[in-house]
Amino acid sequence: MSPTKVLIVDDSAIVRKIFSEELSRDPELLVVGTAPDPYVARDKIVRLKPDVITLDVEMPRMDGITFLRKLMHHYPLPVIVVSSLTEKGSQLALEALDIGAVEVLSKPGTAYTVGDMSVHLAHKIKAAALVDMKKRMIPKAAGPAPRSAPLARTTNKMVAIGASTGGTEALREVLETYPADAPGTLIVQHMPEHFTKAFAERLNGLCAAQVKEAEDGEHLVPGKVLIAPGNQHLQLRRSGALYLAKVSTGPLVCRHRPSVEVLFNSVARYAGADAIGVMLTGMGADGADAMLNMKSAGASNIAQDETSCVVYGMPKEAVERNAVDHIEPLSSITRRILACA
C-alpha cells in the first residue's frame, strides 16, 4: 500500500515543522506539503491531492472554520482539526466536527509532549484516511431524534461506552434518544483534555439525561452520563450499592489516555452482570480485550455495525473476539441498551 499523503495547514512555522518531522518518521505517512493559510492550502490541495489534512482553526486571511465549510462543500476529504486549549479553541473545534472534520487534536506543547503527540497524531491520521467522507457528510435530520420512553422499572444497571474516530456524532445520536432516567453511563471518547468539557456541555444541552465531564469520586446514578476528561483515565468503582467514578492519570493504555480498555476492565470487575457495554465507531482495538472480560463477567455487550460506523475498527475487533452479544446500527443502539437494562 502507498503511504497516506498528508497536508499540514497551520499559520505557525513551528507547528508545521514539528508536525512534518514527527510524521516523516512513520513509513506509512507521507507529508506532501505544508501551508500557512487556507489560500495556499487551496492551491496545494488541488495540485497535491492529499488523503488527509491537518487544519488549524485560528489563522489569518481566512479562519479554519470558514475554510472547512468551503472544503466540505466543494472538495470533501478527511480533516483533523488542531487547536489551542482555550475555551474558544475548544468550541471552534467542536463546531468543526459538526461541519465535517473527523478528529480534533491539541497543539504540541500544550496537552501533549512532542513524543506523546507523535503517537496520537500518526494514529489519528491513519484513522482519518479510512473514513468514507460520503458517509460522514450525510445530512443530519432536521431537529432532534425522538427520545426513548422512560424505563418501565427501576434498575441498578450501568452502561459503559467506548468510542474514537466518528464517535462525537455517534454519541450525540445515542444520547439524544436517552430517556431522563436511563442507566448511569460512563463514556470514554478519545479526545484531548479541555475539549471533553466543552463536548459534554454541548451534549447536555441536547439530551434529557444529564451529561457532564466526570469528576473523581462522583456518584453514578440513573439519568447521569459522565464523560472521561481528556488525558485522564476513567474507571468504575463501587461502595456498597453505590457506583462511583474514578478519574486518574497513568500511562497510555492501548496508546490512549483515556483508554476504553481501562474503563471496561474496571466495569467487568465492579459491575459484572449489572453492566451493559457499548463499542462505537473508531480505529484500533482499544477496549476489545476488556469487552471480552466484561462478557465473561456476565455483561450484555453491544457493537455498532459496520455500515453505520465511520471507521469499523474497534467494534470489529470486539466482534472478532466474540465479546459482543448484539450488533446494531447506530439508530438502534439506545433501544438495545434499554432492552438490556
Q: Residues 191, 90: one domain? A: no
Q: Could you list the residue range(s) of the whole structural domain that residue 96 is in? A: 4-136
User: Above 50 in pLDDT, residue 153?
Assistant: no
Whether 258 and 222 share a structural domain? yes
pTM beyond 0.75: the answer is yes
Is residue 141, in this structure, part of any structural domain at all? no
Among 3, 311, 279, smallest CA distance to 130 is for: 311
Written as nine digits, the cell of 66 is 470558514
Shared domain for 179 and 49, answered yes or no, is no
**Same domain (yes/no): 119, 164:** no
Residue 19 lies in a domain: yes
Residue 332 within a domain: yes
Q: Is residue 148 part of a domain?
A: no
Residue 195 lies in a domain: yes
Domain end call among 136, 171, 198: 136
CATH number for the domain spanning 188: value is: 3.40.50.180
Do 165 and 305 share a domain, yes or no? yes
98 and 214 share a domain?
Answer: no
Residues 192-209: pLDDT tens digits?
A: 888 999 999 999 999 999
pLDDT band for position 301 (50/70/90)? very high
Helix axes 87-99, 64-74, angle to 10 degrees: 10
| Share in percent of the chain as helix, strand, coil (round to 5) | 40, 25, 40
Of 136, 169, 201, the residue that ends a domain is: 136
Look at residue 72 in the predicted model and tell me its pLDDT: 94
Same domain, 132 and 193: no
Residue 144 lies in a domain: no
Q: Where are the beta strands (DSSP E) in the chain?
A: 4-9, 29-35, 52-56, 79-83, 103-106, 158-163, 184-189, 210-213, 219-220, 224-227, 233-239, 242-248, 275-279, 300-304, 326-328
DSSP SS3 for 329:
coil
Catalytic residues: 164, 190, 286
Same domain? 164 vs 120:
no
Residues 57 and 201 in one domain: no
Domain membership flag for residue 145: no
Distance in angstroms (rounded) separating the CA atoms of residues 315 and 163: 9
Q: How many CA atoms lie within 13 A of 298 on its CB side?
A: 9
Same domain? 238 vs 320: yes
Report the domain count for the chain: 2
Q: Write out the three cell numbers for 143.
A: 431537529
Distance of alpha carbon 265 from alpha carbon 263, whole angstroms? 6
In a domain, residue 150? The reply is no
| C-alpha distance from residue 332 to each of 28, 99, 173 (Å) | 36, 24, 10
Residue 190 has pLDDT above 50, yes or no: yes
Mean per-residue pLDDT of the chain? 90
> Rounded to whole angstroms, how far apart are CA atoms 193 and 324?
30
Q: Are residues 15 and 124 in the same domain?
A: yes
Answer yes or no: are the C-beta atoms of 231 and 255 closer than 8 Å.
no
Closest CA to 10 of 67, 82, 116: 82
Sign of dihedral through CA atoms 135, 141, 145, 146? negative
Tell me, yes or no, whether 312 and 224 share the same domain. Answer: yes
